[in-house]
A and B are shown apart, each in its own frame.
Chain A
Amino acid sequence: MTFKLILENMRHRPLRTLLSVLLIAIPVTLILTLVGLSRGMLDESKQRTNGVGADIMVRPPGSSVISFSGAPIPQGLVKKLRQEPHVVQATGVIAQQVSGLTSVFGVDLDEFNRISGGFDFIEGGPFRGPDDILIDDFHAQQEKKHVGDTITVLNHKWRIAGIFRSGKLARMVLPISIVQDLTGNTGRISLIYLKVDRPASIDPVIASLKKQLVDYPIYSMREYVSLLSVENVPALNSFIHVVIAISIVIGFAVVCLSMYMAVLQRTREIGILKSLGASRLYILQLIVAEAFVMGLCGTLVGILFSFGARWLILTLVPASLQQAIVPDWWPRAALIALVASLLGALYPGFRAARQDPIEALAYE
């Protein structure tokens, strides 16, 4: 009977209910989209890193797991490392950020192909001239480009020579020497990838390199990929916590306002319930339960909206952003929405429970 009363109350004011549910859904969507973006982009980054086909990565001294800081590694080091025991392939790449989270990578295509097995071209093929660029299919879709079209990167117009299937190193690839010249890093690189003769050689080679290159972070690719997590992205966890806190505040305010209005609108009905023998606790339960149902509906709508956000991102900016669907965060988002809803319902609930029945019955 209580549930029926709650549902009928919610149906009686459909616009108020709809707005409240939507406003609870927005922070839920915000959380799920933010976490989904973090995870989607890291997963995509892992996929591209794995796509290189290397066994070991040598990063510049003082660099963090996630970011690149210019090109401080002398290119000559690649040749030296190629001569190390068990190393069968080595290549250096230079990374240059072009906008937001997008970078263009400069590669020695022959060396890179030997390690990775080469790009899987959907259209066109490798560089044919000094102004050629290779882009992946996501970037081509986002920019609506085809082979032969031009694209401006690093203040320079490039002809698209090939479009390759995404999942290998980067979205945009240029010849290494050109990126070095354009960025004033002639003879310098950002990363070195190594391939060893067999899996068992990875650890001994890393141990040997660490003795020689004391300040250089050196990882097996498996270890590096495992480090690509939300925890290792500077400030991302704090940012997520801030969004969660804001979500709780929004949810609290929405539900508090909505239920406060509901209590005012139902003053007479509360009086009727009291005249029928409803206790204060029952009135409080009624208000809190309605907020709980709205919180639950808001969570479900928020989850649906996160699918909508993913579709929008995939449609509009597939190369710039990647959003994963994060079902493991659904219970957490639900908990956040429900806690906010219940907190928001407490004051209106207590107010309703304390309502004088005679005044309430006289309310017009």
Chain B
Amino acid sequence: MSEGPIIEISGLRKIYRVGRVDVEALRGVDLDVARGEFVSIVGPSGSGKSTLFHIVGGLTPATSGIVRISGQEVGAMSDAQRTRLRKTTVSFVFQKFNLLPNLTAGDNIALARFLAGKNHGADPPFQDALKLLGIEDRLRHKPSELSGGEQQRVAIARAIVNHPAILLADEPTGNLDSVNSRTVLELLRDLNQRLGQTILMITHNPEAAAYGHRLVHMQDGRILATPPPT
């Protein structure tokens, strides 16, 4: 196993074209994340946090700069390779859970395994994770029958079912009350501590951010060297 950073980002820039206007979402981001690290990324809306996630997850290409995941340059990947990256290496947890409404919780998780080409049942480590998530008895229910906290735990289960190297959590507690937020954050910390899961988490909440090993501040498409004055 390589001991270098699992994520290496240097000089990352992203310019969106909105109508006739160019919007610079990232203005030269440099960031390394070590394997097994839990990094919290904080910053105001429009600071480029989500764009950074989308590029790391291969959902959108960078305008310039380099992103390497486990030594492989994401920008040089074909569409098929980026699709494979999302199947096997990087997975997402979203603020709005993003479960497929027509499928049960169990089928949402099974679909992620199916898309990764794993048609057999979940493996023992994942069964342990399900216990940790506390949703074993909710798997036959559809998302509409689950609370927000349960939906987010199902989304986390779906995200880790294929044992991705990196979990990108975009405001995972943004739609949850304080009790469910704490449950989800403790689950993420458990996953990181017990399974060594590398986690990058975007959050607005300083309490949530404190769960990470390291805090990264973003503003105006850049990573700040020092936290902004509060």
Contact = CB atoms under 8 A, between A and B. Distances in A.
A235 to B, nearest CB: 49
Given A279-B80, A361-B94, A272 B100 contact: yes
Contact of A4 (B87, B107, B158): B107
A11 B101 CA distance: 12
Chain B interface size range: 20 to 34
Contacts of B102: 5, 8-9, 11-12
Interface string A266-302: 0011011111111110100000000000000000000
Interface residues of A, number: 25
A358 B59 contact: yes
B111 to A, nearest CB: 6
B86 A276 contact: yes
Contacts of A27: none
B98 A272 contact: yes
A1 interface: yes
B92 A275 contact: yes
B137 interface: no
A344 interface: no
Interface in B77-131: 79-80, 83-88, 91-92, 94, 98-103, 107, 110-112, 114-116, 119
Given A358-B59, A361-B98, A277 B92 contact: no
B79 A276 contact: no
Candidate in B99, B111, B112, B116 with the most chain A CB atoms within 10 angstroms? B111
Given A8-B103, A11-B102, A268-B98, A275 B115 contact: no
B99 to A, nearest CB: 8
Contacts of B193: none
A358 B60 contact: yes
20 contacts: A1-B107, A1-B110, A1-B114, A5-B102, A5-B111, A9-B102, A269-B100, A272-B98, A274-B59, A275-B57, A275-B86, A275-B98, A276-B112, A276-B158, A277-B83, A278-B83, A279-B83, A356-B60, A358-B60, A361-B98
Interface of B: 54, 57, 59-60, 79-80, 83-88, 91-92, 94, 98-103, 107, 110-112, 114-116, 119, 158
List the 5 closest pairs (A to B, CB-CB), nearest first.
A277-B87, A8-B102, A277-B86, A1-B114, A12-B102
Interface of A: 1-2, 4-5, 8-9, 11-12, 268-269, 271-280, 282, 356-358, 361
